[in-house]
Amino acid sequence: MEANSLIHKSKRQKLNEDQGIDGNSKCFGNLPDVILRHILSFLHIKYAARTSVLSKRWEFLWTSIPCLNFGKPLPAKRTLHMNFVERVLCLRDSSDIKELTLNCDVQGDASRVKSWITAAVRRNVQSLHICLSDLRGQFSLPHHVFTCETLESFFLDMPCILKVPPIICFSNLKVLSIQSVTFSDDYTIQPLFSGLQVLEVLSLEKCRWVCVKVLSISAPKLHSLTIDEADMQNRSDCEVMICGANLKEFYYAGEFFNEYWFYNSLSLEIAGINVTRSDGRARQVAYRMFKVLIGLPNVKDMRLYGSAVEVLTYAPELLPNMPIFKNLIFLELESLDLDCAALLKILQNSVCLETMCVREINQLSDCEKDDVILDPVPPYFFSHLKSIAVDSYSGNKNELYMLKILLKNALVLDDISITCSAHFVGGLEKQKNLYKQLIELPRGSQNCKIILG
């Protein structure tokens, strides 16, 4: 039942502990307290607090709900919101806080905010989600946070220098996400990334590395690492060494202002790389992109977006040393450009590729010479490639020639799926004509199905 409807009903009639909300004996009010607290935790905290008017039994139930979510208020209601948070935590009983989400403009209330975080730590918080903005002056998290033995998930979004105490002990931390913070030097920040013995998921998004020259990320149980530096004016030029014997997934977005090395990454199976603009640094970005590819010898699922492939052409001397992707079975590309030497080299070295997805097809320099585009033909076309998916198909002549190349050379292809773009000119009738053209193209695999959508 909605919290608001319960409140309105309470104005007409008080419910006692034995009375059913709907008049039946089996009702909401007969559930054990632990179940009711769990249900209340799904409500916004302000609605959960309002249930105190329902009856004597409900009066203090909300003060012990396990999850507290304080969303960010409108600017005009900031003072009311801050006072409300203060009141909720003051009235809180001694029970544990399983999850605390705190999103607010700090302004001149740094001491209050830190006391709230400390209160959660003292109540054995397991999941802590802190998003702070409008920080005025210096701000540091309570040292208790970095030695919280019960903390399992920690999400921090805080646009200021992260000050880390000398002693860090996250004995149960499995998920760590840090956004918008500034790391100021090697010495204070290194313990944060090298002493996480049970960490499984690490995400670093839009962080600034100031005066940090070398950083080692070492967590024996780490299986997923995300680094997002997109849209950042980050010129730190840090050398990041990633050591993860159990690392399974790696995702990167940005301009490679920092250099990334993989050590002992044989278990890495999934990689997504989105290279944004390079701003005159194309050769440097190419070398750093190449180093990441070298660290993916056993990757099975690889997705290359933005200019991740194109940028490699700015360092052609690297292409002969492109690694062999002996386990790669799924490849997704931002664009399919068979004029791109770097792409052809990746395709030639993907010897077991089964599925290839492309978001768009680029213009060929000479689409009439399709018989020499794939020279030499990547070996997977003969023996492994079973599925091709093409998105944002607009129906131009160049795209049709590219499909002709693919259909002609993929000898064991089971299906090719083509999704027309929103700008596809001609509507349903043109799609019918396109399908007819595709059916008539020569195909290396006679069993290939053409799916047009």
Confidence category of residue 3, pLDDT binned at 50, 70, 90: very low
pLDDT bin (cut points 50, 70, 90) of residue 271 is very high
Which segment of 1-15, 109-123, 319-333 scores lowest on mean pLDDT? 1-15
Band of the pLDDT at 292, cuts 50, 70, 90?
very high
Would the pLDDT of 5 be above 70? no
Residue 397 vs residue 146, higher pLDDT: 146
pTM: 0.85
Task: Inform me whether the pLDDT recorded for 28 exceeds 80.
Answer: no
Please tell me the distance from the alpha carbon of residue 55 to that of residue 14, in angstroms, as a whole number: 6
| pLDDT tens-place string over residues 340-381 | 899 989 999 999 999 999 998 876 655 555 554 566 667 777
Question: DSSP letter string over 312-365?
Answer: GGG-GGGGGGPPP-TT--EEEES-B-TT-HHHHHHHHT-TT--EEEES-BPPPS
- For the residues 396-410, what does the mean pLDDT come to? 84
pLDDT in tens, 246-270: 999 999 999 998 999 998 888 999 9
DSSP assignment of 122-180: HTT-SEEEEEEEEE-S-----GGGGG-TT--EEEEE-SSB----S----TT--EEEEES
Task: Give the pLDDT of residue 141.
Answer: 93
How many Å from the N-terminal Cα to the C-terminal Cα in the chain? 43
For the chain, give the mean pLDDT.
84
pLDDT tens-place string over residues 32-71: 777 877 777 777 777 777 776 676 777 667 777 888 888 8
Spatial contact of 251 and 272, defined as CB atoms under 8 Å apart: yes
At 425, the pLDDT band (50, 70, 90 cuts) reads low
For residue 440, pLDDT over 80 is answered with yes
* Torsion angle of the four alpha carbons 415, 419, 420, 421, in this order, in degrees rounded to the nearest 10: -150
Band (10; pLDDT cuts 50, 70, 90): very low
Percentage, residues of the chain above pLDDT 90: 43
Burial profile 288-315: b = 16 or more Cβ within 10 angstroms, e = fewer = bbbebbebbeebbbbbbbbbbbbbbbbb
Average pLDDT of span 89-106: 90
Q: What is the pLDDT of residue 7?
A: 44
10 Å CB burial of residue 52 (0-12, 13-18, 19+) is middle
Higher local confidence (pLDDT), 332 or 207 = 332
Q: How far is CA 274 from CA 149, 201, 248, 318, in A?
A: 36, 19, 18, 19
